[in-house]
């Protein structure tokens, strides 16, 4: 398997001068661009078999669902890798829900089953490892709770100090408690996630790694979501993959993962990618459906994880949807709660942002974007215990039959 990566601008393609800043030519976000030979299905199959065999080994790198794919990640000295055995998550078949939604198959990849209860761990292991390899002593991020919890855990494992900028009063108590448990220093910012991210940009300094998804290392870990879906399905490509969208790093990363799998010969077609946002925080749905550029909004939704009004990775996400003939759809808070109730009642459970996927599937089916023939994977991004107020609200409504 011959693959290597060059750090470049995701927009103007200029080689990156520094990995920790936007492109110095055009100001856009960087990415690790795959340089590979033409697809080779035999070599790809052999590589996938090697990766699968690594599961049985007892070394920390092989026990990680991310570092098992290390040939497809930025090269980091193994001694610097910080791992919590992330990325080993289940794909749950949901035949009853598929039937209810009128589609041929539905499965949930539950990324809430990661060490800190969200998909952020997939990227954080790479971002913190890279930071440690470069001698950073501090990590910082803006967050609606999950990025900060993940950063706090990995930074603590690496012996680094961690600082989280969070929107005051707008994140779940469970997430605040979790990040503090790992010893993070919390700075509360007035306003929304977008204000916290703006504040962070002004606080960056030498020796401090910014670990939001503007950091290209994060996305390299998160792209392994695509490999996890494919591996769990014996490399059968689903028709659609449905992802909740906030700052849009994750949708961009998952799209990149599928494109790389195709470029290497692991698969021969792309699944279509659908991004679901909450109606009160849906600037990407608006821009994707209208064909215009981003118009930021003041975010308002009960799905606090995806209350983002000015997503930084919108250009990358738009390119992934274009490449995969994807779609973007907005759902109401009531639809999110109802979907969360159905996922809970199926014995799975997740936080509201993740339930937006099932609500989005219902909308996409109603508008005819999804058909009765479609085989769909939804990515559940956060664990049910991440937002207990939401669980109580949904269960109370179910109990009174509302
Ligand atoms: N789902 C959950 C549970 C999240 O925490 C997030 C983002 C998303 C979906 C959306 O992912 O931003 O890559 O589009 N949470 C960030 C945070 C904003 O700070 O934890 P995205």
Please tell me the distance from the alpha carbon of residue 180 to that of residue 186, in angstroms, as a whole number. Answer: 8
Q: What share of the chain is helix, strand, coil (3-state, %, to 5)?
A: 45, 15, 35
Residue 1's pLDDT is: 66
Residue 17's pLDDT is: 81
Residue 398's pLDDT is: 84
Phi-psi region of 28 (alpha: psi -120 to 50; beta: other; left: phi over 0): beta
In a domain, 298, yes or no: yes
Please state the domain count of the chain. Answer: 1
Find out whether the beta carbon of 381 lies less than 6 Å from any atom of ligand 1: yes
CATH of the domain at 283: 3.40.50.1100
CA 236 to ligand 1 centroid distance, Å: 27
Question: Taking the CB of residue 26, how many other CB atoms lie within 10 A of it?
Answer: 12
Find the domain containing 343 and state its range.
91-116+218-401
Residue 203's pLDDT is: 73
Whether residue 209 contacts residue 131, with contact meaning beta carbons closer than 8 Å, is answered with yes
Q: Cβ-count burial of 186 within 10 angstroms (0-12 exposed, 13-18 middle, 19+ buried)?
A: middle
Find out whether the beta carbon of 277 lies less than 6 Å from any atom of ligand 1: no
Residue 206's pLDDT is: 83
Residue 400's pLDDT is: 81
Residue 287's pLDDT is: 98
Number of residues that make up the chain: 402
Residue 21's pLDDT is: 81
Please tell me the distance from the alpha carbon of residue 180 to that of residue 6, in angstroms, as a whole number. Answer: 36
In a domain, 369, yes or no: yes
For residue 267, what is the enclosing H or E element?
A: none
In the chain, which residues have pLDDT < 50?
none
In a domain, 248, yes or no: yes
In a domain, 236, yes or no: yes
In a domain, 30, yes or no: no
Residues whose CB is less than 8 angstroms from the CB of residue 73 and which lie 6 or more positions away in sequence, other chains included: 66, 67, 126, 220, 221
Q: Give the mutation target among 247, 274, 308, 316 for probing the ligand 1 site: most ligand atoms within 8 A of CB.
A: 247
Residue 36's pLDDT is: 87
For residue 296, what is the enclosing H or E element?
A: none
Whether residue 281 contacts residue 307, with contact meaning beta carbons closer than 8 Å, is answered with yes
Residue 392's pLDDT is: 97
In a domain, 392, yes or no: yes
């Amino acid at each position: 398997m011959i693959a290597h990566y060059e750090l470049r601008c995701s927009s103007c393609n200029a080689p990156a001068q520094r990995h920790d800043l936007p492109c110095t030519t055009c100001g856009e976000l960087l990415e690790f661009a795959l340089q590979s030979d033409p697809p080779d299905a035999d070599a790809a199959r052999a590589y996938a078999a090697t990766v699968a065999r690594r599961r049985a080994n007892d070394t920390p790198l092989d026990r990680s669902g991310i570092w098992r794919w290390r040939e497809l990640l930025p090269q980091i000295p193994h001694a610097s890798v910080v791992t919590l055995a992330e990325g080993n998550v289940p794909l749950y078949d949901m035949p009853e829900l598929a039937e209810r939604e009128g589609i041929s198959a539905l499965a949930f990849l539950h990324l809430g089953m990661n060490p800190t209860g969200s998909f952020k761990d997939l990227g954080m292991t790479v971002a913190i490892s890279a930071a440690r390899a470069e001698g950073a002593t501090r990590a910082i991020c803006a967050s609606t709770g999950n990025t900060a919890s993940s950063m706090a855990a990995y930074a603590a494992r690496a012996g680094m100090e961690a600082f989280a900028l969070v929107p005051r009063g707008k994140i779940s108590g469970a997430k605040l408690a979790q990040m503090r448990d790992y010893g993070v220093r919390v700075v509360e910012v007035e306003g929304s996630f977008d204000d916290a991210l703006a504040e962070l940009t002004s606080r960056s300094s030498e020796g401090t790694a910014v670990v939001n998804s503007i950091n290209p290392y994060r996305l390299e870990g998160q792209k392994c979501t695509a490999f996890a879906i494919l591996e769990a399905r014996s490399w059968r490509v689903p028709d659609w993959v449905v992802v909740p969208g906030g700052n849009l790093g994750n949708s961009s990363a998952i799209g990149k993962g599928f494109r790389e799998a195709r470029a290497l010969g692991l698969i021969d077609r792309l699944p279509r990618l659908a991004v679901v946002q909450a109606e009160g925080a849906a600037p990407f749905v608006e821009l994707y459906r209208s064909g215009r550029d981003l118009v930021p909004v003041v975010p308002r939704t009960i799905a606090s994880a995806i209350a983002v009004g000015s997503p930084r990775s919108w250009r990358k996400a738009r390119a992934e949807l274009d490449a995969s003939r994807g779609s973007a759809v907005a759902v109401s808070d009531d639809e999110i709660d109802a979907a969360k109730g159905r996922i809970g009642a199926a014995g799975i459970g997740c936080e509201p942002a993740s339930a937006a996927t099932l609500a989005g599937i219902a909308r996409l089916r109603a508008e005819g974007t999804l058909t009765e023939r479609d085989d769909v994977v939804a990515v559940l991004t956060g664990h049910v215990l991440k937002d207990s107020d939401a669980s109580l609200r949904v269960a109370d409504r179910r109990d009174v039959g509302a």
